[in-house]
Amino acid sequence: MLQDTYRHKGLRKQLVNLIRSKGIHDSGVLRAMETVPRHLFMDSSFLEFAYEDKPFPIGSGQTISQPYTVAFQTELLEIKKGEKVLEVGTGSGYQTCVLMELGARVYTVERQKSLYMRTKLFLPTIGYNPKMLIYGDGYKGLPVQAPFDKIIVTAGAPFIPPELKHQLKPGGFLVIPVGSDNQVMKRIIRTGDSTFGEENHGTFRFVPLVEDKAFE
């Protein structure tokens, strides 16, 4: 069932070449994406779409992010082995696994219960074990486990949740798409106790980061 064949590996190599041609140069990021079997994160009847550079529905109205977007956000994070990383929006768990391939210790939060349960059961079956996979509201971050070296938000945020900025270590990064219809990819850098730098890195389109709704 959970097979990763030469055909899959070949398709993945082509996808990585495409992502490289679109401007991703970090060799660690490209290697991680060549390793994680994206087809296993989607329903097997959609196999032919797994290695296209497109987002894809994963149920509960959510999507697995476009591979280029995953690569772009991951590159901006500049992950070093052993870093403690918070991901907001676990979804399929694909991005989670890319971060783990780079040696990150990943804490990930999902607010949709059905997705949370599915991904929590699924990841260990393909050999990935995040430090924590939590059902909750990512706007609040994880105050008990904070601070983090890096934080990534994988849904479009209407504003930058202040809690997330304050759960960064000094020198840490928050990579977050901000906006309602389209989003600007922002990288926030904690430069001091209460000082932050902010960079813009182009426009993207994400499903919305949902605030304080019933968690179903």
Q: Is 73 in the site for ligand SAH (CB under 6 A)?
A: no
Q: Which residue in the set 33, 79, 155, 188 belongs to the binding site for ligand SAH (CB under 6 A)?
A: 155
Q: Is 63 in the site for ligand SAH (CB under 6 A)?
A: yes
Q: Which residue in the set 11, 15, 74, 89 belongs to the binding site for ligand SAH (CB under 6 A)?
A: 89
Q: Is 118 in the site for ligand SAH (CB under 6 A)?
A: no
Q: Is 115 in the site for ligand SAH (CB under 6 A)?
A: yes
Question: Residue 45 phi/psi, 5° resolution?
Answer: -75, -10
How many other β-carbons are positioned within 10 Å of the β-carbon of residue 9? 12
- Give the active site residue among 27, 44, 60, 65: 65
Q: Give the list of residues 6+ apart from residue 15 with CB closer than 8 angstroms, or none.
A: 33, 38, 51, 52, 53, 67
Q: Which residue in the set 37, 39, 40, 91 belongs to the binding site for ligand SAH (CB under 6 A)?
A: 91
Question: Residue 20 phi/psi, 5° resolution?
Answer: -65, -40
Q: Is 111 in the site for ligand SAH (CB under 6 A)?
A: yes
Q: Residues 175 to 214: which contact ligand SAH by CB under 6 A?
A: 207, 209-210
Q: Give the list of residues 6+ apart from residue 57 with CB closer than 8 angstroms, or none.
A: 63
The two structure tokens encoding residue 129: 């074990």
Establish whether 60 is a catalytic residue. no
Question: How would you classify residue 165: left for phi > 0, otherwise alpha for psi between -120 and 50, otherwise beta?
Answer: alpha
The two structure tokens encoding residue 68: 């280029």
CB 75, min distance to ligand SAH, A? 15
Q: Catalogue the active-site residues.
A: 65
Q: Which residues bind ligand SAH (CB under 6 A)?
A: 62-65, 88-89, 91-92, 94-95, 109-112, 115, 137-139, 154-155, 207, 209-210
